[in-house]
Amino acid sequence: MIYTISHPSKKINGSICLTASKSESNRALMIQALCSEKFEIKNLATAEDTVTLNRILNQQQLSDNNQQIIDVGAAGTTMRFLTAYFSTQKGTFILTGSDRMKKRPIGILVDALRGLGAEIEYLENEGFPPLKIVGKALRGGEVVIDGSVSSQFVSALLLIAPELQTGLVIKFKGEVISRPYINMTLKMMEEFRVYGQWHANSISVSKQNYHRKSDVDYVYQVEADWSSASYWYAIAALSEQVDLSIMGLNHPSLQGDAIVADLFTFFGIKTEYITGGIRITKNRFKDEHFGFDFSDCPDIAQTIAVVVSALNIPALFNGLHTLRIKETDRIEALKIELNKIGTSVEILNDTSVKITPQTVDFKTSVTISTYDDHRMAMAFSALALKLDSVSIADPEVVKKSYPNFWTDLKSVGFELK
């Protein structure tokens, strides 16, 4: 399937209720599974990853089978969180996923869990899913992790830390990337009275128990997703005019990608915090060189790459350590697809790219391949504000994080065929 997207007026006006945060939802589900006191989660994300995680956790709690085969599909966070979780749960678990998932490395997390006493076996290729996990009470202790690896490995360990007999100390080698995602995990754990502490280059969590707040009617409310908001900021930046309210976002936020509100001031977008969300409007952008380190917010790199290309702004991106091991090799995918509008992407090394755009021919139309990656589909859709139209191959991939994306586009004047 291919969607061809256009916007006749190139002007964006209206209001949308943004999808809930996948990152926050998945952490809330893990805490709910580990907490002995029941509580409700409101505004749980409808993202495919979250739906998958919720289904697996519910089935696991109802099952009394000695061995369970669990397929996470393409859900990377789910694979990582469940690898740690099932290591602490009584039973034997076969944890597998899609073909792409079987190519996404998990050895760093497995090594750390084995160091804490976990019993995990690779069933196919060393360092990659599928895994056989024999769950049991883990002794805990100290692990050493390269700070440049995915923060999801760290969060997976932190979430189970209170369950460990002697607690957990994570020591980092080198600079820690994606620190806001780790801090989100710690803040959500604090909401349920489990406390971790940053030291110079380590985090410690003692043995504790998750507790919900004492309010009789306590519920955990998931915020809307700032990562998804980034696509609307891109749309605003490429539009001729914008006055858009995006509901469900908080200020301040637990989410590191809330930095888009500050980042897009460079591209002429003003953010006003209103009751229940934000309002974005447009000023003149800075047509000068753009440079940024995405170590703390890698999920918005593709979106910004499309924006600088469409606005003909040369750019240097750093901190792209994790983009090659996502749903696809995102750096290579960007290089191929941006070339279709004349942008050169020079890969300097595994963490940096140089982007050299050329003036976009507004009368052209392009077809963008998405590589089974939801963020490719949504990031490149903004080009419909600069081109006659943009065609997106396999548009259904957006269900991974933002199932209502296409519906929301139509609500503000985009035409989809």
Q: Which residues belong to the active site?
A: 299
Among 3, 114, 4, smallest CA distance to 387 is for 4
Q: Which amino acid is at 116?
A: L
**Cα separation of 112 and 76, whole Å?**
18
Among 36, 44, 31, smallest CA distance to 196 is for 31
* DSSP conformational letter for 75: -
Regarding beta strands 131-135 and 91-96, do their DSSP bridges make them parallel or antiparallel, or are they unpaired? antiparallel
Among 41, 50, 1, 42, smallest CA distance to 22 is for 50
Helix 22-34 × helix 48-62 angle, to 10°: 10
Structure-block tokens of residue 339: 């070339």
**Cα separation of 320 and 109, whole Å?**
20
Omega cis (within 30) before 252: yes
Count CB neighbours of 303 within 10 A: 26
Count CB neighbours of 312 within 10 A: 14
DSSP string across 309-334: HHTT--EEEE--TTGGGSSS-HHHHH
Regarding beta strands 196-198 and 219-221, do their DSSP bridges make them parallel or antiparallel, or are they unpaired? unpaired
